[in-house]
Amino acid sequence: MLEASPTTYELSSSLEGATPDAVLQRLLETSWSDRHDACVGFRYRLDIERERVAEGRFGFVILLNQKRLTERRQPYEFLLDTPFDASRFNFTRIDPAEIQLELCGPFPTTILINNSPVTVYHSLVVPDRQGQHSQVLTPAGIRVPFELLIRLPDRRYRIGYNSPGAQASVNHLHLHLLRIDTDLYVQHTELIPVRGIPMVHRLPNHLPAQGYCFVVRDPIRDLEPVCAGLRKLIGMLMEREMAHNLFWTWSHLEQGVEIRAFVFPRAKQCANKMACSFNTAFLELCGFVSVGEVSDYEQLTEDSIVQALREAQGDVYGTLGDLCAAGSSVDDGGSH
């Protein structure tokens, strides 16, 4: 039996002494599973029909989930500077049964089911839901993913974000929380320090995606400057009208060694007019590809995926030439 109202849960206001919070994870998982099993709010029961790893050096994970293509809500078109529009679908208008948790604390955040899930426990993270922010990252939107990953005991949880013009489908600030059971190439790739910008690294040229990475090894020491750096970089991208995707992940799933926060700028915005089988968003850029057509599942190769990612991003390093100067001797052409 589902509860009549979502659970409210208090997050500690400080990371001092913060430890993995098994209660928080249990609440997230049971609230998702209860709704999924009872078919409350979901457009379909999650059914990964087939799964494989593409041959090659990057280990792209490819899943077939036809219902996500046929049953999901159709996205509507909007670009980076589109203001919030209360007359269009937004997360203040959802069925209350879709709300899993209300997280209280320094960054009030609502956790919703994603009613068209890609993986188990796929949820939406909506900072300050009643504030009705457009799909542009706020300081809270940058900070909350770190707060959640630090507290969830299971290191398989990841968080992603698509900006307007980069496959976002709803113009109301939200991020995606989901569990991915497989290692992705971005967790282990070498990172090249960017000269003159503390704590910023870029991805080597030989990787499928172009982007930047911030690393948190000691949350007490690193989190504030990393969040400040992310705010600065995203602000710069917004000034240049460059869409972007972000991805937060632990680098090691067995041990909490470091959190990597990736920023994937796009040299051109895309108009998200309709759902299609193979999108290029934060998951695909990081090596996790969910498709909705059998032909795509069977025919996609590492080369075709890499080509699609590079076409979607454009020449990011050429566009952001002032950011991509490497400041170390890391081999920029080696293999993964």
Q: Kindly state the percentage of the chain with pLDDT values over 90.
A: 75
Please, which pLDDT band fits residue 56 given cuts at 50, 70 and 90?
very high
* Average pLDDT over all residues of the chain: 89
Q: What local confidence, expressed as pLDDT, does residue 308 receive?
A: 93
Q: What local confidence, expressed as pLDDT, does residue 336 receive?
A: 35
The backbone torsions φ and ψ at residue 326, rounded to the nearest 5 degrees and listed phi first, read -80, 140
CATH of 7-12+20-320 given 3.40.50.1000, 3.30.428.70, 3.40.50.10800, 3.40.50.12170: 3.30.428.70
Is 59 in contact with 286 (CB distance < 8 Å)? no
Instruction: Kindly report, residue by residue over 199-228, the tens digit of the pLDDT.
Output: 899 999 999 999 999 999 999 999 999 999
Instruction: Kindly report, residue by residue over 272-295, the tens digit of the pLDDT.
Output: 655 557 889 999 999 999 999 999
Reply yes or no on whether the pLDDT at 334 is more than 80: no
Please give the model's pTM, rounded to 2 decimal places.
0.92
Domain residue ranges in the chain: 7-12+20-320
Q: What local confidence, expressed as pLDDT, does residue 272 receive?
A: 60
